[in-house]
Amino acid sequence: MAKPPGRQYKDEIYEQFARIGKAVANPRRLELLDLLCEGPRTVDALATQAGQSLTNTSHHLQMLRAAHLLESEKVGTYVTYRIAGDDVCALFAMVRELAESRLAEVERVMQSFLSEREALERIDSAGLLARMRDGSVTLVDVRPTEEYAAGHVPGAVSVPLGELERRLGELPRDREIVAYCRGPHCVLAVEAVGLLRARGFDAVRMEDGVRDWRAHGFEVETAKLAA
């Protein structure tokens, strides 16, 4: 028996909606979206930063691209992926915020991780602004340089986590250091603050990332990478 036209339409349209849900219903793919919302990346870079094999990373990226959430470009032997539009990052942000507000496990996992690594102060964008106005802090962006170039908090100095140990001499010891990375669930700033404090610096972590900063209506700067 043929379906009524209205039922046929409902089945087909919700099947298309479900394509988006299926594409993002995987923790690895969500992490890749989070990384790509910071800026375009090659498959190799994404695999390294997400701690995945190249094969698995490529598979997840292709699934996201099939749902038209990503775009890709091949230059030579390298394939670079980028977010298909700002609405994709808005989707990720809504998923994150919904999980934070509805799932007690999110807070439990966060506290379990942070309690072992920091009995230290955390600040948000508003708190940082107040300290920046009185000139009492040095702001350090510990993300990879390409993310800093794509967009950073004005006044921030780029010191990727992997370079922090050897560049400690560039940081003032008479001012508070505020480190930030990709947002509340990024561990780069947590590790940076731990290292800074172990070396005698007064350091805190800003929970917000650049996307959160921009969402609050604050200005974001870009920069050119050195040739």
Provide the annotated active-site residues.
181
Query: Could you give the 3-state DSSP secondary structure of residue 176?
Result: strand
Question: CA 168, 213, 92, 123 torsion: positive or negative?
Answer: positive
Q: Closest Cα to residue 140, out of 185, 184, 189? A: 189
Q: How many whole angstroms separate alpha carbon 68 and alpha carbon 23?
A: 10
Q: E strands within 34-121?
A: 41-42, 70-75, 78-83
Residue the block writes with tokens 């505020």: 178
Closest-CA residue to 221 (of 160, 162, 139): 139
